[in-house]
A and B are shown apart, each in its own frame.
Chain A
Amino acid sequence: MPSPTSSWVASAQAVFTKDWRCELRSRYALNAIALFAVTTLVVTSAALGPAGTNKSLAINVLPAMLWLILLFAAAAGLPRAFVHEEESHTAIALRLAAPPSALFVGKLAFGVSLLLAIEALVAPLYLAVMSLEVASPGLLVIALLGGGYGLAAGSVLIAALASQARGRSTLFSVLAFPVLMPLLLLAIELTRNAVAGDAAGPALPQLLLYDGSVTIAGLMLFPAVWNP
């Protein structure tokens, strides 16, 4: 007889595996995200050229541009986490079979892994096309990991809340602004510090605090939102 903890972990793992399996077969979110990321990269590089050679642009503008590209790429795919379950009526079977917190964690793990994969693709390309030199690469990696986790966690939480409403896409946009804005400001600040070679400063603990808060809020809110 498996313990409740191992059973809960197995449930979350099953959701994560199922989401990746379905995604790799349908490629709906992957195609939307890749198309958006590549298009914005091409447009940005065509408009600005190798802007990284200009020190002022490199520090003040390019970090924000990187996070805007990541934000919109995430917005193209992550809201589907729960909306698709509702629209395809698979949510009924999930409600009856899955512990809500395990479902949330499985969806969160899928969203985080998807976003980190996007970052692994987009960030090196972005640095290359913008000729952007990063003085503290380690800090940039931390910013991408912490910011990527927060962006995915915030998006999955909002998707869970919005999926229960009628005007899902409108509600997602309305909720995304206040929830994701602090995260983006912190991630941009940390990326700017990485490019300039400055210390992480207070942005790093604040970013980690944000990540923890969104995760805990999701675990607490989701069961109440998901079940009647």
Chain B
Amino acid sequence: MSSVSLAFDGLRRRFGRVRALEPASGRVAAGETLVVTGANGSGKSTLLRCLAGLLAPDAGTIEHLEAGSTLSPSERRARIGFVAPDLAFYDELSAGENLEFFAKLRGLPVARAGELLDRVGLPADRAAGALSSGMRQRLRWAWALLARPRALLLDEPFQNLDAEGEGTVRSLLGEHLESGGLAILASPIGLEVSGAVSHLELGR
């Protein structure tokens, strides 16, 4: 399994006059978790979007290394696994059809979609538009793990999950870390995560 690390330094982002992210720096390596905390509006989601390549930071650097190579923003987008509250799927398609569509987009075998739906305990034939918020969160997790990413960026990863659902995704997260992956978790409250954990608190 290839080694992975993700480091960022002095990341800053504004939306017009609003300073959404004050300079933030951190580093996380294979098998480690970085827990990012902070009040609402402190920039946690903005930080994760910058790291995912969904937003360009106004300043600062991001170095995502996999197997000794630094990934470009487009490679980062293709390689990371991402969970966020506003990550949505096609309501007209079933959970299985949604995952199969994204598997085809990424050139992955569609059987991987079925495996992950079984793992997160979702019925493949249920329309995404008819999923409860907890089931949608399970679908986000399945989607994030589709391409077996080495880096997981998780914004409010346990939101809306019941105890069984949280146990399932924590187990998936544990397997990911044990296999040499890394994770960055963002939450307004501190999260308990097993293994090597570091913390970053964002504030105004």
Contacts and interface: CB of A to CB of B under 8 A. Distances in A.
A13 B52 CA distance: 25
Given A14-B101, A21-B97, A96-B77, A90 B53 contact: no
A22 B87 contact: no
Interface string B67-88: 0000001100110101010111
Nearest to B50: A228
Contacts of A17: 101
Contacts of A202: none
Contact of A227 (B74, B84, B93, B97): B74
Interface range for B: 20 to 34
Interface range for A: 20 to 34
Given A10-B107, A15-B105, A93 B89 contact: yes
Contact of A7 (B54, B56, B107): B107
Contacts of A10: 104, 107
Given A2-B107, A97-B105, A89 B88 contact: yes
Contacts of A22: 90, 92-93
Given A10-B107, A89-B86, A228-B54, 5 more contacts: A11-B107, A18-B90, A21-B92, A88-B91, A102-B105
Contacts, number: 71
A95 B74 CA distance: 9
Interface of B: 52-56, 73-74, 77-78, 80, 82, 84, 86-93, 97, 101-102, 104-107, 143
A116 interface: no
A93 B104 contact: no
A43 interface: no
16 contacts: A11-B105, A13-B104, A22-B92, A25-B92, A92-B84, A92-B88, A93-B87, A93-B102, A93-B143, A94-B105, A96-B54, A96-B77, A96-B78, A227-B77, A228-B53, A228-B55
A54 interface: no
Nearest to A92: B87
